[in-house]
Amino acid sequence: MGEIFRPMVKRPRIGVSGNTKRWSPSWWCTALALRLAGAIPARISARHSQNIEFIDALIVGGGDDIDPKYYEGETNNKDKIDIKRDQLEIDWVKKALRKTTPLIGICRGAQLINVVSGGSLFQDIRSLRQRTDNRPGLLPTKQVQVSKGSLLARILNTRHLRVNSLHHQAIRMTGANLKVVGWDLDNITQAIESKEDNIIGLQWHPEYLIYLPSQFAIFRWLIKCTKRGTF
């Protein structure tokens, strides 16, 4: 019998933005999630350059606070900001929005997508907390409810979940073409999505929760978007 030749399936290349540190847990965990889901992760930072023409989808990762000047917030010495990263990721988000590139924002990344779209942030949510512990943690202890009929609910296959929490800022007013689809017990925004395109923003860190099927499904969804253009 002759040898059967099967065409090689091209794995999508997913850009992942973040800090420049060699040991960056969010980068390594996101890269692992993408590889397990069948994609090739491509690191983006002030030290790791990529070309958006060769990127099939984009993940904007978590990290330092966004410079308040981008959303008319109050500047103070307590804010830990990364000027180079801010500008780099703002440029990438703008390009992704123009090209309708599938896009996920994680924690800071969700906030950045919102700011680029004209939205604003709460600079410190600790005084708003009544029913949810504000201490940072990687374990899924915070309760979140997702809007019925939303894209995110379809991705997760549930409307009620528990997630981790590493943030002290949050989305206040949503930007253009974005809507809130997830809230915690204090009614603080935990998820947003686009009204038109394949864009979701999550206030939690799914890259640290890929052992949960609902969280791993987020990365699988992004890869499906690059193959089918829809979900």
- Return mean pLDDT, the chain: 92
pLDDT band at residue 230, thresholds of 50, 70 and 90?
low
pTM of the model: 0.93
E runs forming strands in 81-188: 103-106, 121-122, 137-146, 160-165, 170-171, 178-184
Cα atoms in the 13 Å half-sphere on the side-chain side of 133: 14
pLDDT of residue 1: 46
167 counts as catalytic: no
pLDDT of residue 72: 85
Look at residue 10 and tell me whether its pLDDT is greater than 90.
no
pLDDT band at residue 79, thresholds of 50, 70 and 90?
confident
What is the Cα Rg of the chain in Å?
Answer: 17
Q: Which of 167, 193, 207, 225 is labelled catalytic?
A: 207
Residue pLDDT, tens place only, 13-28: 999 999 999 889 999 9
* Percent of the chain clearing pLDDT 90 (strictly above): 81
pLDDT of residue 6: 47
Tell which CATH classification among 3.40.630.10, 3.40.50.880, 3.50.40.10, 3.30.70.20 matches the domain 13-228. 3.40.50.880
Report, as an integer, the average pLDDT of 124-135.
Answer: 85
Q: Which of 29, 89, 107, 193 is labelled catalytic?
A: 107
pLDDT band at residue 77, thresholds of 50, 70 and 90?
low
207 counts as catalytic: yes
189 neighbors 170 (Cβ within 8 angstroms): yes
Ordered by start, the domain boundaries in the chain are 13-228
Report, as an integer, the average pLDDT of 138-154.
Answer: 96
